[in-house]
Structure 1
Amino acid sequence: MASCADILRSEFPDLDGEVFAYVTGILHGGGADFESVDDLVEAVGELLREVSQDTKDDSAIREICQRLFNTLQLDEAQAQRCSQVLLDTPIQLSQIADGCGDADVLPGLLLKRGQTSMVNAKKLEKAEARLKAKQDKRMERDSLKSSNPLVLEEASASQAASKKETRMESSGKNKSYDVRIENFDVSFGERVLLAGADLNLAFGRRYGLVGRNGLGKTTLLKMIASRSLHIPSHISILHVEQEVAGDDTPALQSVLECDTTRESLLREERDLTAKVNAGRGEGTEGARLSEIYAKLEEIEADKAPARGPALNSNPFATSSLLREFSGGWRMRLALARALFARPDLLLLDEPTNMLDVRAILWLETYLQTWQSTILVVSHDRNFLNVVATDIIHLHSQRLDMYRGDFENFMKIKEERLKNQQREYEAQQQYREHIQVFIDRFRYNANRASQVQSKLKLLEKLPELKPVDKESEVIMKFPDGFEKFSPPILQLDEIDFYYDPSHYIFHSLSVSADLESRICVVGENGAGKSTMLKILMGELAPVRGIRHAHRNLKIGYFSQHHVDQLDLNISAVELLARKFPGKTEEEYRHQLGSYGISGELAVRPVASLSGGQKSRVAFAQMTMSCPNFYILDEPTNHLDMETIEALAKALNKFRGGVILVSHNERFIHLVCRELWVCENATVTRIEGGFEQYRDILKEQFRKEGFL
C-alpha cells in the first residue's frame, strides 16, 4: 500500500516543498488525533483544495483524505515504518535544498527558481490552530481518564463515504426522505457494537429495533440523532429518550417550543415589531413582517396550542412546571413534544416505559396514523405487533431486516435458523464424505488426479458457520424459607393523603398471601406506587391499619431503581458494600445469576445499559432472600428474553408477589389477580387484563379516540 508521501506526490505533482513538509509533518505528528476522515479533512483538506488550483473539487479532496486516513490505520509495525518515512522526508528535503542551492534537482517537491509559495500564510496558521486545539482537547481527556479511572467511555461511529450521495448532497439534488446508512461501525469505548452494518429506512415505514440488553440499540439511536452517522441534511430528526428532565419550564411551552419553524418566526416577528415601535426600523420591516404573517398563517401557528397531542386527558394545558410531573407524565410529555414537532425521522427509545395502559393504547393508535418514518426501540411484544411494519434485529454486530410485525419476525427468524443449521450440517456431511475419499486414496498413484480434484472441490466450498444461538437467560429468586399461615400482608380501611384536600386513598382494604400473584394497574398518578409504599410500611396511613406477619421479609424493586444504585463503583463493589462479609466469588455468583458476569461485574455501573442496571438491582434485591416481592415496573429496560426469564423465576418462586406493570405479555405470564387503582380505591377485576383492556377500549370509543 502506498505511503502517505507517495499519495501526496501522486495526487499533487506540483506541490511545493513548504506545503509538502507541512502536510507530511501533520500526518506524522497528529496521526493519532485523527479519529475519523472528517478530522483529517478539517486539518489539511482546505489547504490541499487551495493548492490544487481548482483542479479537484471537494469530493475529490475528501477521497484523497480518505486514502491518507486509511494509510494511517495500518497495523502498528506498518504505521511505524510509515511514520518514519513521514518524519524523515521533509528534513532530508530541507537539507538537500540548503546544500544544493539549486532546487531544480527535485522538481515538483521544492520551490523552483523564481516561484513563490502558493501557501496562504493565514490559512496555514488557522489549520495549525485547529489541530493544536484538537490535540489539547485529546490531552485533556486522556489526563482526565488517567486521574479518574471511572470516567465513562464514549460512543463513536464511522462509515465509508458514498461518492454518489456526497455529490447529490452537495448539489442539493437529494430530495428523498429514505434513510440509507451503509457500511458503518459503532463502538462504545473499545467495544465494537456494530461492524460493517447497513441500515435502510424507507420513508413512511415504522421499524421496531430489537435485541439483547447491552448490544447497542440505544447507542445506535444516539449516533443517528447526533448525525454522527450521515443523514441527509434536509431530513429532520427528533429523538425521544427515556424521560424529560424536570425544570421550571411550563409543560405546554415545552411542547410548543419543539416546532422550531413556528418558534423562529414568532421570535423574528417580536424583534421586528419592537424595532418598528422603537423607531429603529430601516424601512424594510413592513415587507418582512407581511412575509412572516403569511407563513404563520400557512402553518396555522395560532392553532398550535390546541394541536398539541393530548396523550389522553393530560394536564399539559395547565401552567404546571415540568418538575411537578411524575415519571409517567414526563414520558407522556416527551412523546407529546415529539408528536407535535412532526419530524421526518422519529426515534423512540422504550416509549412505553412508565406509561399506563390507557396511554399505551392511545400511543399505539396514534402511531399507526404517523405519516413519516419511525425507528423505535421496544421490548413490549404487543406494542411492536400493533405498531411496527418492519423489525430490525441487532445481533452479532450486525443488523438483520424483517418485513412484518414482531410475531412474523419470530417465525421467520426461527425458520432461517433451522435452514441455516440444516445447510451447515449437510455441508459438514458432504465435507466428511469427500475427506474420507481423500484420506483413503491420498497415496494411490492411480487415484492421484481424483484426489486432486476432490481437494480443489473442498477449497471451493463456501465456509458455512454453525448457527450462533443466543445464550438462554436464566433468573432465579431464592426461596429457602418456611411457609407461615395468613394473614401475611393486609391493609384495613386505609385513608391516605399528602394534602388533606385531596385523598389518594379512602377506605382502602386489600390483602395478599404467599401464593399471591397480583398485578396493579391504573392511570399515571392514580396512586399505585403510593399503595406499594404503604404495603411496605414506608408510608404511614392517616387512618386505618396495616398488618404484616412478623416473619415477613419484603424485597422491593423501584421503578426508579437506578437512583438506588451507586453508579461510580462496580456491581461487585456495590454488593460488597451492601452485604459485607462475603467473598468476591459469592458476589460474582449472585450477579452471574442475573446475567452480570465477566467484565460486566467489575465495570462501573454507570457504563452498563439500562437493562443491565436493572439486573444489578435484581441481584441486590434478592441477596437477602426475601419471602415476598413488591415490584414497581420491573420490566422497564429489560429485553424480551430477560422478561421471559423474570416471569419464569417469579412463577417458580415460593413466596408472594405484588407488582405494577403495563407489559401485557408479562402480566399474562405471571399474574392471577388484577387490581385497578382508581377513584381513591382499588377494585379487583375478575376477568383479568383482557377485561380491563376492553373497558379502556370502550371508553376510547365513547371519547372518539378509536
Structure 2
Amino acid sequence: MLSITDISVRIAGRLLIDHSSVQIVPGARVGFVGRNGVGKSTLFHAIRGDLPTESGSIALPPRWRIGSLAQEAPDGPESLINVVLKADLERDALLREAETAHDPHRIAEIQTRLVDIDAHSAPARAAAILSGLGFSTSDQARPCAEFSGGWRMRVALAATLFSAPDLLLLDEPTNYLDLEGTLWLENHLANYPRTVIVISHDRDLLDTSVDQILHLDRGKLTLYKGTYSSFEEQRASRELLDAKHAKRQADERKRLQDFVDRFKAKASKARQAQSRVKMLERMKPITALVTQDVHEISFPAPEKLLSPPIIAVDDVSVGYEPGKPVLNRVTLRIDTDDRIALLGSNGNGKSTLVKLLAGKLAPFSGKITRADKLSVGYFAQHQVDELNLDGSPYDHIRKLMPEAPESKVRGRVGAIGFSGKAGDTLVRSLSGGEKARLLLGLATFYGPNMIILDEPTNHLDIDSRAALAEAINEFPGAIIMVSHDRYLIEACADRLWVVANQTVTAYDGDLDEYRRMILSANDGRPASRERVKEQPTKPERSRNEKRTSPRQRVAQAETEIERINGIIAKIDTALALPDIFTRDPKQAAQLTKARAGAERALQRAEEEWLEASAELDEATN
C-alpha cells in the first residue's frame, strides 16, 4: 500500500500540499487530477524520494519498484527493442550473468528465475508495446538516435511500461502520442496488473483506464472511487453540501456575534455573552467552494464568410522530396463551416496534409483551388520555439497592433487570457498551458476563415480543454483538427478523415468504432508478463511486421537460436551431474522446468527462421 500521511510539501516558499493524507491500495488504477500548477508533479517527486516533505511521511512496501517516465529521451546507437528490453533490469542482469556462469547451482537458479519472469517472451512483449505506441517492426530495429525527440519519448514510455513496476507513475503520458497511441495506452493501463497513478487531463483516458480519482485542490488530497465522470458528480454534490453547511454556519456565527454585540455591556448577560465568544472561537470554519475561474477561449470571427467550397483538392500528390510523395492522388473539399478531425498514426501524413491546406507546402501535381481572400489560422505545438522568450504576451500583441492605442492593445491581450499583470509576464516564465493560449491567440488574431489546430490540447487542463471545445463550436468558420484528445474530437468534429496508405479517405463510423478497429489490430500480441501466457504461442503478424525484410528476420532468428542453444547446453551440463537428482531433487526439478521453457522458446525461434527463410527463398528466386 502507498501510504501518504499528513504530508506538507513546499516549493520556493509556496505551500503546495498542506497536511494531507491518502491511502492507495495495491492494484489500484488512479487518475491524478487538479489544476495546472497545484503540485501534482511535485507529489510524484516526493513519492520517488527526489523531494523531501516538510512534514508527514510517505511509506511504500519495502520491495516495491517505482517506475516513471524518464526526464530525458533515450539516445544513442542502440536499437529501440534493445533499449526497451534493458528496462527490465533483473532480466538484463540475469542474461548477462548466464553468459559467464559455470556453477551448476547458480545456473539452475538463473534459469529458473528467467522462466519465472517469463524472460523468453520478453522480446515479443517489448515489440507489442512498441507496436502499440506506433513503431513498426522495422523501426524497432533502428538506432534510437535516428528518431526525433518526441518519438524517443515514446521509447522511454515503452521502456517504463515494459519494466512493469509495482508502482507506475505517469505524468501526462499522452502528450507525445497520437490518437491511435492514446487509444492503445488507455487499453494497456486499464489492464495494468499492478498499481498505477497517472496525471492526465484526458477525460476519456480517465473514464476508460482508472477506477479511482485522486484530486489535489487547495493543498488537500481527496480520493474518489470511480471514473472521472463519477468524480465530477461526487465532487459537485460534495461542494453543494459544503456550500449549504458553510451558509448554515455563517448564519449561526452571525446570530452568536449579534448576541455578543448586543449584550456584552450588560452585567446580567456578560456570562452568556462570554460563553458565545468561546463558541465562536471553537467553531471550525467550513470552507465553501472557491470558484477558480477558467479564462474562456474565443476565436475572432472572420469579417466575411466565403462561398463554399473554400478549398478544393483534386488528384493532388504532395511531399518533401520530388518523386517521393507522402500523399498521393488526394481529392477532397472543405466547406465554410466544416468541423473535420484527421485520424491516422503519426508518420502517415497528417502534418503534410495540414501544411498543404495551410498553403505552407506546394503540391507536386494535381490542382488545389482556394476561395478568393481565404485566410487560414495555423496552430501547432512546435510554434512555441518561435515565441520570443524574453517578450511578454503584451509584446507579441503590440507587434501585431503597432498603431493601436494602449487601451486597445491591453484589451486584446486580456481577451486571449492575459489580463492585468499577466500580460507583462515573460514568455519564458509562462506554463505550457499559458504558452498554448498565447499561440492560439496569435494564430487566430486576424479572424481567419479556417483554423487548423495540430494537437492544441497539450498542456491544457481539463477545464481549459472544455473552454477550447466551446470556442471551436462557437467559431463560424471551418476547423481542421489533429488531436489525441477523444473528448475534443467527439465534442466538436462532424466529419472524420483517415490519413493512411498515402491518401485521405472519409471515415463513416464514429470514434468508438475506430477505437475497436485500432485495438483489434493489437489483438494476439502479448504486452505484459501476466497476460503473455494467455496469448497464442505464435502471435499473428501485424501489417507493419511484413515490411521487415526476410533477410533481417532470418538473421535475427539465427541469433536467437544460437543464444537459446547456449542456455540449453549449460542446463544439460548441470543435469548431467551424477548425483543431482538424489542430492538436490528440488534443484533438479527447477533445471528440468527451465530446460522445458528454453525448448519452447527454441521451437518458436526455429519456426520464425523457417518462415523467414521460405520468404527469402521466394524473394530471391
Q: How does 1:348-367 map to 2 (within 5 A)?
A: 348-367=170-189
Structure-2 separation of matches of 1:540 and 1:211 = 43
Shift of 1:646: 0.7
Q: What amino acid maps onto 2:506 in structure 1?
A: R
Kept in 2: contact 1:487–1:549 (CA 8 A): yes
Shift of 1:685: 2.6
Tell me, yes or no, if structure 1 residue 195 matches structure 2 residue 21. no
- Closer, same or farther: CA 625–214 of 1 in aligned 2, 3 Å: farther
1:204 equivalent in structure 2: 27
Q: How does 1:136-147 map to 2 (within 5 A)?
A: none
* SS of 2:241 mapped into structure 1: helix
- Closer, same or farther: CA 203–570 of 1 in aligned 2, 3 Å: farther
1:386 equivalent in structure 2: 208
Structure-2 separation of matches of 1:457 and 1:690 = 57
Q: How does 1:140-539 map to 2 (within 5 A)?
A: 178-225=1-48, 227-229=50-52, 232=60, 234-240=63-69, 244=73, 247-268=76-97, 272=100, 292=110, 295-308=113-126, 310-311=128-129, 312=132, 314-315=135-136, 318-325=140-147, 329-479=151-301, 481-498=303-320, 503-539=325-361
2:602 equivalent in structure 1: none
Shift of 1:336: 1.8
Structure-2 separation of matches of 1:449 and 1:648 = 59
Shift of 1:692: 3.0
Shift of 1:221: 2.6
1:650 equivalent in structure 2: 472
2:437 equivalent in structure 1: 615
- Closer, same or farther: CA 594–180 of 1 in aligned 2, 3 Å: farther
- Closer, same or farther: CA 475–680 of 1 in aligned 2, 3 Å: same
Q: What amino acid maps onto 2:40 in structure 1?
A: K
Structure-1 separation of matches of 2:106 and 2:389 = 53
Q: What whole-Å deviation, never above 9, does each CA across 1:244-267 have from its counterpart, x for those lacking one?
A: 355543211110121112233344
- Closer, same or farther: CA 693–655 of 1 in aligned 2, 3 Å: same
Q: What amino acid maps onto 1:236 in structure 2?
A: R
Structure-2 separation of matches of 1:401 and 1:661 = 29
Structure-2 separation of matches of 1:671 and 1:476 = 17
**TM-score, structure 1 normalization:** 0.66
* SS of 2:26 mapped into structure 1: coil
- Closer, same or farther: CA 293–688 of 1 in aligned 2, 3 Å: closer
Aligned identity (percent) is 36
* SS of 1:496 mapped into structure 2: strand
Tell me, yes or no, if structure 1 residue 563 matches structure 2 residue 563. no
- Closer, same or farther: CA 573–399 of 1 in aligned 2, 3 Å: farther
Kept in 2: contact 1:596–1:615 (CA 8 A): no
Kept in 2: contact 1:685–1:691 (CA 8 A): no
1:65 equivalent in structure 2: none
Shift of 1:635: 1.2
Structure-1 separation of matches of 2:293 and 2:446 = 27
Kept in 2: contact 1:675–1:682 (CA 8 A): yes
- Closer, same or farther: CA 465–217 of 1 in aligned 2, 3 Å: closer
- Closer, same or farther: CA 306–622 of 1 in aligned 2, 3 Å: same
1:157 equivalent in structure 2: none
- Closer, same or farther: CA 524–600 of 1 in aligned 2, 3 Å: same
Task: Tell me the C-alpha RMSD between the 2 structures.
Answer: 3.2
Q: Which stretch of the first structure deviates more once superposed, 463-472 or 180-189?
A: 180-189
Structure-1 separation of matches of 2:526 and 2:122 = 21
Kept in 2: contact 1:514–1:657 (CA 8 A): no
Structure-2 separation of matches of 1:460 and 1:223 = 34
Q: What whole-Å deviation, never above 9, does each CA across 1:69-99 have from its counterpart, x for those lacking one?
A: xxxxxxxxxxxxxxxxxxxxxxxxxxxxxxx
* SS of 2:453 mapped into structure 1: strand
Shift of 1:404: 1.3
- Closer, same or farther: CA 289–465 of 1 in aligned 2, 3 Å: closer
Q: Which has the larger radius of gyration?
A: 1
Q: Which stretch of the first structure deviates more once superposed, 688-697 or 630-639?
A: 688-697
Gaps of at least 5 residues in structure 1 are 1-177, 274-283
Shift of 1:333: 2.5
- Closer, same or farther: CA 385–673 of 1 in aligned 2, 3 Å: same
**TM-score, structure 2 normalization:** 0.75
Shift of 1:400: 1.7
Q: How does 1:656-675 map to 2 (within 5 A)?
A: 656-675=478-497
Shift of 1:198: 3.0
Shift of 1:377: 0.8
- Closer, same or farther: CA 300–448 of 1 in aligned 2, 3 Å: closer
Structure-2 separation of matches of 1:582 and 1:221 = 46
Q: What whole-Å deviation, never above 9, does each CA across 1:626-649 have from its counterpart, x for those lacking one?
A: 332100111122111001111111
Shift of 1:618: 1.7
- Closer, same or farther: CA 238–480 of 1 in aligned 2, 3 Å: same
Kept in 2: contact 1:328–1:356 (CA 8 A): no
Structure-2 separation of matches of 1:652 and 1:585 = 26
Q: Which stretch of the first structure deviates more once superposed, 536-545 or 574-583?
A: 574-583
Structure-2 separation of matches of 1:249 and 1:581 = 55
Kept in 1: contact 2:200–2:206 (CA 8 A): yes
* SS of 1:353 mapped into structure 2: helix
Gaps of at least 5 residues in structure 2 are 53-57, 528-534, 536-621
- Closer, same or farther: CA 501–481 of 1 in aligned 2, 3 Å: closer
Kept in 2: contact 1:403–1:409 (CA 8 A): yes
Residue of 359, 369, 385 corresponding to 1:547 = 369
Q: What amino acid maps onto 1:615 in structure 2?
A: R
- Which structure has more relative contact order (CA 8 Å, sep 6+)? It is 2
Kept in 2: contact 1:310–1:336 (CA 8 A): no
- Closer, same or farther: CA 666–241 of 1 in aligned 2, 3 Å: farther
Kept in 2: contact 1:214–1:612 (CA 8 A): no
Q: What amino acid maps onto 1:213 in structure 2?
A: N
Q: What amino acid maps onto 1:674 in structure 2?
A: L
